[in-house]
Amino acid sequence: MANQQPNSGNPRVDIEYRRKKSAEEMRHQVITFALMIFLTIVAFVAAGYEGFSGWFIVPFILILALVQVIFQLYYFMHMSHKGHEAPSLFLYSGAFVGFITIIAFLTVIWW
Binding site for other proteins (CB under 8 A): 1-5, 11, 15, 18-19, 22, 25-26, 29-30, 33, 36-37, 40, 43-44, 47-48, 54, 57-58, 61-62, 64-65, 68-69, 72-73, 76-77, 83, 86-87, 90-91, 93-95, 97-99, 101-102, 104-106, 108-109
| Smaller CB separation from other proteins, 8 or 101 | 101
Query: Smallest distance from the beta carbon of 69 to other proteins, in angstroms?
Result: 5
Other CB atoms within a 10 A radius of the CB of residue 75 amount to 19
CA dihedral 70, 76, 79, 81 (to 10 degrees): 130
Query: Smallest distance from the beta carbon of 8 to other proteins, in angstroms?
Result: 13
| DSSP-assigned letter for residue 81 | S
CA dihedral 10, 11, 13, 18 (to 10 degrees): 140
